[in-house]
Structure 1
């Protein structure tokens, strides 16, 4: 249809006055100038009411006005007709979707022929509407131009308004552009799209199912169902957080933890267990737990015992084998897991490496045996000489009595030394030993001890070298400080080879005084470094069977009492370096004045 003149419009309007097709004419300002009765009925106007004088754009929802005005303006400039789907606002506020065939006129207005879009998309008839209203989930239907043609009551409640005629991506999703699944033409190509999204307007989560609806005229409309899954998402987040917390806790436990299924195959293993067993997770998961732990298939196994007895087993002292085949002493707890019907589902084992504790127990047992043996010898001597004195009381000469008494005194002194060393270690461990601090020169105190022990080093053919270039003032208990030096030098002598050297030096740097004792012995094995200062521990490289493993333990305890530290550095085959660190004593202001 070409651009109509005013005369042609008047003739056409008169001819179609009583046409069932609704029509309206607008002027160059976009206002309705004339319409027929069918148009008034379409708007729901009562008899005698007219829409003349009303802006054509105001007959549409606010959200559609700018877009429709721009479309008509462009059509007028191009002098061409345009057909669009228009949502008309009826008198009662309702909306009706119509096909608007707009033809430009010479006066700048348009001739609008309107027909209800009842057969396009052919979805929202009465029966279909009733079906969609029965859903609790929000549902809307839109055409291929993204215009909403129907919303069920659940969707209207969710939005808080009826958005019929508006763009779905703006009204529903709060987006300026079309939704990703529409933009990608997935639905247009016949695909059902499932999407999880969070609406910015209410921050709630929805599962969105967008289904294509194929129309008789070949076009494709869309039906979209919203399901609010916010509660589910929150639950998932809580569960994920709980699982993450559980995982962090599981992986951070300082004890080994291993979980198995009902067939005793490993399902979980934490880093501590991997370290004890010398395996990684990939080497353990899915394997039979007894193979992973290097245990025999023993019915007394704590986990099997727990399953048989229906209660937690342990703590039990057990042993496992690491990946190298070495035995590892562990303390183990085990708990079988059952469901509500009593079926065995698997179990959990927790175990702690107690190899060091067991080693110390063995050392302690040997020390006690040695102590009992060493105490028995002087006691036998004392008893024997006492019997001699009693038997020869009348006949014994004064010379013999004196000799017997000297033997008794020597053996009693040995016993007193044993008891004194053990009591001193006990007081150090309990913090009951009190310091008697005084200001002294560390270099001078060390030099005195070095000179006192030099004859022992000379007898063993070991050279003792001292380097103390400058004074190192400290606040310390002179007697206990001497005990540290005695123990360090005695330890160096025990581990030095014949013809070797022991270097002793004193330096002051960084606000502390340091005494360093370095020997040329065989060094300390790596697995003994953490035990070297433990009471009763005696290194495997010691050249003598004498002593009770108390010297270095006492030295470290005394250093700590002084606010200092005693540390060791050693590599097998390269000797050992013991370093005593004590804070330097600063002169008081009064002394300085």
Structure 2
């Protein structure tokens, strides 16, 4: 996630304190080195201490300190005339100490890299759980809504309506089961990626079914679907594509200025891809925020007063990438937003 430098003054002071301690250590070791006989190389080994201290910096610089220690170790050998040992022997002993300095620097760098990787992995797992909760929550909303309507209409509901609503509950439950199954399979792979199914999907039929359901469940009445009579097929995973389109449409509904503001969904063949455009007449996104709306957990100024975790578009982009597609977002403040998804056409026209 792109963020500005927001390090607290306390962290900056702490980092300066560590840096000051490192330079004081280096200076003290150098003074001790030139005060003692050049044949004594213990000071050169002592340079490993400030190199190790660099681990406590926000961004460790062990190689920089090792290079400084190397230069001072060589300079220290000429500060005081050598005694019985020839200069070559003095330098040889010091080069052994210098090699130790660089070994310590490499170990510090490796340890820092391991810490960064562990932090990134922890952050990835946290985001993954948040995304999973977000998507399961969307399906649970369907189940809760349909169950509520069944309870209210229990005395006068027709058998056909009962069957239709029960089917929607079953479909939402299957979506949750499918998500959990994919997560379990991904965990067994150990790489945290959700596998994507590959088959021909009639994107027009998928969107028509989805929009009908959203109109009923979310009371999104003013959504228009524009598609040619010719069926358009993409190759991909029906469940993930449904989540992709659902996220975008619900975002458009959420940020539209009123329930009457029209939302248009267009489907058309465009070169070797099927282009799906979702256009709303909402408040739009500011130009400085547009590059960041795909970042996880980012919520812009227009999101104030609305619920959400800032994960919708992040998850959308991951699904688009998994399908070898492209996501474009165009927006004008006060005029609305246009989300464009290009998905490769399927050669197979049989779902």
**Structure with greater contact order relative to length (CA < 8 Å, sep ≥ 6):** 2
Please state which structure has a larger fraction of its residues in strand: 1
Q: Whose Rg is larger?
A: 1
- Give the TM-score taking structure 2 as reference length: 0.49
Please state which structure has a larger fraction of its residues in helix: 2
- Give the TM-score taking structure 1 as reference length: 0.31
